[in-house]
């Protein structure tokens, strides 16, 4: 079976062929790879030699055209490792131009990403549930900006913006479908992932907060709004009106709370030696109170967001296969039989996989938080996968130690550590 060239461009640049990573032997920002990047970026046309000489800054060479010919030769030789001469080359010569051969055998993540986005849009139009899962595949491929290493190259900007805009515009169409289906939690999770990849996009920030409001998660929506305000202020940027107008909507969502009910919930939830656990509305009120206090007092206050993240099922299966191979090797070294060890393994462990164990894992994490945190700290479980914590009178280093302690306790929970990852982030109030 012939090995095809795989080209990764979204968030990282890597070229591989089978198990060989071709970009390891030559620096990825060299003229050789820059030539390749330019040709597959503009793969729909023939690129004149003069244009390539200018892009690669070869004018100062004594023989620019010869230097370009030498680069093309080296690139072809590197890409053709282990192939017979009849296989189609990736780089073609067309008179006084060069071009990327789109008929050759190759795989390009940007092309696959584009196909998945258009497939998502088509499935949304047909009101298909598969649109959600198709877009998740596109998100898995988009690990960052297109050819992110080439930050100062103007010729890359249009392609980079095109893929970024496609990610956002496709999500906008998916938003309409998921909202109609009432899938607000899934929608917010997608917006969270997209915002990790693309910052300062008002459509993503607005969509994320609107998904929280639609789900009734008003407290977290307010916190996310204030996070966005702080992010723009820290970077000396003007808050877009699309985000600023959300404040009025959130205020209209506020519900007057019965003081007696609130006091009873505090008395019923508080214990002598554990952190205070409350619902989202109560947490929001306490958050507002502490934010006001922080303006008059120097005592630091931090907001912590914990996320129970289900690992990808394919990755879990891959890890299990690796572990199984390592187990076989270990058994053979000891001279034992695989059947005997397998029996012991089956009888000693019956792990629950993926999302099936989330509710139980979430309950266990809540118990850990109550034991690991102090009486004055506040905990709220916003959903099965999300916890918000408010830590009072701690410095940033102390917060890191607290999170490390929580993560270690979480890893000690039997049956969950392989399938669910605990992620965290924190902000100063």
Half-sphere exposure of 284 (CA within 13 A, CB side): 21
What is the residue range of 289's domain? 260-311+354-428
Q: Which two tokens stand for residue 53?
A: 């000489």
**Domain shared by 80 and 218, yes or no:** no
Cα atoms in the 13 Å half-sphere on the side-chain side of 418: 16
239: Cα within 13 Å, side-chain hemisphere: 18
Q: Could you tell me if 202 and 291 lie in one domain? A: no
Beta bridge partners of 93: 98
The pLDDT of residue 343: 39
Burial of 41 (0-12, 13-18, 19+ CB in 10 A): buried
In degrees and rounded to multiples of 5, residue 310 shows phi and psi of -75, 125
Same domain, 131 and 197: yes
Do 20 and 136 reside in the same domain of the chain?
no
Within this chain, do residues 34 and 53 fall inside the same structural domain, yes or no? yes
**Boundary-marking domain end, from 221, 237, 253:** 253
Q: List per-block mean pLDDT (blocks of 10 residues) for the chain, which spans 429 residues.
A: 87 91 75 95 96 94 94 92 66 95 95 98 96 96 93 89 96 95 93 92 94 87 88 86 83 51 47 71 82 74 87 47 48 47 39 60 86 86 88 88 90 66 87
Q: Is 410 part of any domain? A: yes
Is residue 5 helix, strand or coil? strand
CATH number at residue 22: 1.10.10.10
Q: Is residue 96 part of a domain?
A: yes
Sequential DSSP letters for 376-389? T-EEEE-SSSEEEE
Measured distance CA(382)–CA(370) in Å, rounded: 15
Given a contact cutoff of 8 angstroms between Cβ atoms, the answer to whether 198 and 167 are in contact is yes
The confidence score (pLDDT) of residue 65 equals 94
262, HSE (Cβ side, Cα atoms, 13 Å)? 12
Here the contacts of 382-386 (C-beta below 8 Å, separation 24 or greater) are 382/217, 382/219, 382/220, 382/280, 383/185, 383/217, 384/308, 384/358, 384/359, 385/189, 385/307, 385/308, 385/309, 385/358, 386/220, 386/305, 386/306, 386/307, 386/308
Sign (positive/negative) of CA torsion 299, 400, 368, 257?
A: positive
What is the distance between the alpha carbons of residues 238 and 79, in angstroms, rounded to a whole number? 47
**Cα separation, 40 vs 155, whole angstroms:** 13
With respect to residue 316, please indicate whether it lies within any of the assigned structural domains.
Answer: no
> Tell me, what CATH number does 225's domain have?
1.25.40.10
**Which residues, at least 6 apart from 266, have a Cβ–Cβ distance to it below 8 Å?**
276, 278, 282
What is the Cα–Cα distance from 251 to 333, expressed in whole angstroms? Answer: 66
Angle between helices 218-234 and 280-294 (to 10 degrees): 30
Q: What is the 3-state secondary structure of 286-305? A: HHHHHHHHHCCCCCCEEEEE
- The residue among 315, 319, 303 whose CA lies nearest residue 424 is 303
Is the residue at 362 inside a domain? yes
Residue 192 lies in a domain: yes
Does residue 104 sit within a domain?
Answer: yes
The predicted structure's pLDDT at residue 144:
94
Q: Do residue 264 and residue 410 come from a single domain?
A: yes
The answer on 407 and 267 residing in a single domain is yes
Number of domain units in the chain = 3
Q: How far apart are CA 330 and CA 337, in angstroms?
A: 10
Pair 52, 185 in one domain: no
Compute how many other C-beta atoms are within 10 angstroms of the C-beta atom of residue 142.
23
For residues 246 and 265, membership in a common domain is answered with no
Place of tokens 């922080």: 294
Whether 346 is covered by a domain: the verdict is no
Same structural domain for residues 75 and 93?
Answer: yes
Cα gap 368→215, rounded to integer Å: 27
Neighbouring CB atoms inside 10 A of 273's CB total: 8
Q: What is the pLDDT of residue 340?
A: 40
| Domain-ending residue, one of 204, 227, 253 | 253
In a domain, 206, yes or no: yes
36, two tokens = 């390749």
On whether both 238 and 140 belong to a single domain, the answer is yes
Report DSSP letters for 157-187, one per residue. HHHHHHHHHHHHHHHHHHHHHHHHHT-HHHH
- Asked whether residue 231 falls in the same domain as residue 289, the answer is no
- Which residues are within 8 A (CB) of 25 and not within 5 positions of it... i.e. 6 or more apart? 78
């Amino acid at each position: 079976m012939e090995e095809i060239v795989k080209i990764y461009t979204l968030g990282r640049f890597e070229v591989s062929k089978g198990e060989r990573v071709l970009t390891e032997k030559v620096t990825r920002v060299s003229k050789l790879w820059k030539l390749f990047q330019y040709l597959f970026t503009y793969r729909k046309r023939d690129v004149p030699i003069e244009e390539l000489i200018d892009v690669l800054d070869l004018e100062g060479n004594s023989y620019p055209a010869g230097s370009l010919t030498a680069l093309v030769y080296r690139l072809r030789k590197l890409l053709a490792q282990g192939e017979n001469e009849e296989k189609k080359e990736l780089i073609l010569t067309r008179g006084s131009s060069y071009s990327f051969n789109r008929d050759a055998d190759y795989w390009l993540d940007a092309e696959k990403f584009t196909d998945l986005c258009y497939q998502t849009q088509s499935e949304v139009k047909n009101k298909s549930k598969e649109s959600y899962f198709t877009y998740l595949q596109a998100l898995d491929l988009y690990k960052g900006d297109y050819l992110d290493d080439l930050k100062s190259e103007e010729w890359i900007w249009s392609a980079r913006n095109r893929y970024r805009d496609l990610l956002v515009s496709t999500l906008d169409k998916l938003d309409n479908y998921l909202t109609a289906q009432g899938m607000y939690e899934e929608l917010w999770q997608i917006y969270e992932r997209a915002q990790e990849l693309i910052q300062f996009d008002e459509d993503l920030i607005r969509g994320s907060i609107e998904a929280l409001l639609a789900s009734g998660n008003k407290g977290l929506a307010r916190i996310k709004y204030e996070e966005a305000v702080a992010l723009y202020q820290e970077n000396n940027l003007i808050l877009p009106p699309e985000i600023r107008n959300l404040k009025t909507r959130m205020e209209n969502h506020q519900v007057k709370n019965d003081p007696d009910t609130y006091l009873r919930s505090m008395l019923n939830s508080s214990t002598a030696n554990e952190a205070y656990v409350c619902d989202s509305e109560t947490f929001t009120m306490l958050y507002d109170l502490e934010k006001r206090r922080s303006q008059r007092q120097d005592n630091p206050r931090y907001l912590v967001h914990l996320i129970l993240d289900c690992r990808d099922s394919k990755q879990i299966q891959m890890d299990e296969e690796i572990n199984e191979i390592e187990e076989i090797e270990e058994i053979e070294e000891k001279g034992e039989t695989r059947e005997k060890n397998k029996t012991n393994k089956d009888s000693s462990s019956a792990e629950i996989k993926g999302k099936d164990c989330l509710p139980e894992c979430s309950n266990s994490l809540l118990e850990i938080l109550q034991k690991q945190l102090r009486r004055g700290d506040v905990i709220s479980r916003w959903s099965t996968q999300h916890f918000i914590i408010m830590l009072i009178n701690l410095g940033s280093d102390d917060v890191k130690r607290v999170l490390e302690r929580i993560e270690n306790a979480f890893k000690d929970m039997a049956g969950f550590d392989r399938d669910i990852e605990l992620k965290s982030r924190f902000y100063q109030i």
